Structure 1
């Protein structure tokens, strides 16, 4: 992220450390994936001004996002110890948008939205009859920068930079259908009032094995968050209640 380059460097360094630490161990297997999501963001954000709150509807479909995308990146890294069935997952998705939008009251809005979501999880795999299930726990880190300019009589400008970390727990189910296809379903819940009031991630899809080292990832993913900080009606109040969802296509490298 241009606003937080050190944070991106830390994420990349973490993934690299996980890889290099165990790369020589024969009982470890890895996955590295670059993916693209047809992202849609729907919900609303409320930003506190002195003696007032300003709520703005967020309703961006994938067409809006791709046409206004200044920068973006989505990747996932996973490591599994095949002896202990313990593993780790790191997933990071970032978008920097600079669209012109129409506000819910019809006013013109110049908006710049930067959203980054990082998941860092540890999991334990259990083998079932004909399938497997991973129980996991970890964190989801949200990093949002929102700049709004309302082009009306007041010509109001609003900016907020807010990031927070949620604890999450969940499970992932994997079901091989044949030598090529594997079904996948994943879900988690979190927040518990520690940072967000509530957050959840749901995904369903399939992996298609093209070669021993390359697989195609096809899924639909939806992430919900209900976050609030500060006091309503006062400067510094911020609320973010949105669904980020859409289809995913990715290329997985297995090694």
Structure 2
């Protein structure tokens, strides 16, 4: 991606989907409401849609940095209220011609999770001592999806698409820990009463496959569901994503049709590399409401 006035003030151009084509499109956008599945005129050539959106993300799972593991359970409100760091840029773009669509989705975020929502867990093999109290976790993360979709079936207002592509992940994580007497801090950076475990740059690429279903409730209004799975041991061990959204047209200005979208997105990934003090793991579910406005031309 899946942050509005207060969230936008925090820098959230509010994680996440696939974009549809023009007014005659038969292929829906993941986070932008497509044209009605039925009773749409046939338009030849390419049409385009751009959707800046907001994914109000919560985090739940485990983060391991240099063999030190913590359990994270933070809602979007927790992150907004208790963190000094909350920056995000998110957007979709889709180009479409007939039943074929090419899409890309970008989510970049810099999130800080305060100690009340971070708990120490067992150390990785080869790391000795106790961590003490976890103070906070800062994650810089980019998620980029690229792929294509094809409409394989349609019956009245109901349409079914298959999609495939890849999801690229980039992360840097800093884990801040209170120093306890029993901690082995030989490979950590020390600043005052804190020890910092820094991951450095970590990235991987996951193949993904999925499907989406669209239902035209009324002209300009559509209910949309998407699901995909990926990883398969190529990058991460496994990942999955589910999106449900409702799209509605707002109006047309100078040939550009503007639409709104509301929905919910969940994205889970289980990735790990290295052992002992080189262990990095991101086993996390990111989920929350999605809000956006799209421009179709």
Match of residue 229, structure 1, among 273, 292, 296: 273
Cα distance change, pair 111–45 in 1 and its aligned pair in 2 (3 A): closer
The within-5 A match list for 1:58-207 is 58-67=72-81, 68=83, 69-82=85-98, 85-102=99-116, 103-105=118-120, 107-130=133-156, 131-153=158-180, 154=183, 155-160=194-199, 161-207=201-247
Give 1 or 2: higher strand fraction.
1
Q: 1:110, 1:151 within 8 Å by CA — same for their partners in 2?
A: no
- Distance in structure 1 (CA, Å) of the matches to 2:268 and 2:134: 27
2:54 to 15, 26, 36: 36
Which residues of structure 2 form unaligned runs of 5+?
Answer: 1-42, 121-131, 184-193
Q: CA RMSD in A?
A: 1.8
For 1:13, the equivalent position in structure 2 comes to: none
Instruction: Write the mapping of 1:35-54 to structure 2, written as runs, cut at 5 A.
Output: 35-48=53-66, 53-54=67-68
Q: CA deviation at 1:227?
A: 0.6
**Aligned partners of 2:51 and 2:221: how far apart in 1?**
17
Instruction: Say which of 246, 251, 254 aligns to 1:211.
Output: 251
1:37 to 1:43, Cα distance in 2 relative to 1, 3 A: same
Is contact 1:108–1:152 with CA below 8 Å preserved after alignment?
A: no
SS in structure 2 of the partner of residue 175 of structure 1: strand
SS in 1 for 2:77: helix
Match of 1:239 among 247, 264, 281: 281
Please give the secondary structure, in 1, of the residue aligned with 2:79. helix
Please, what TM-score do these two structures have when normalized by structure 2? 0.71
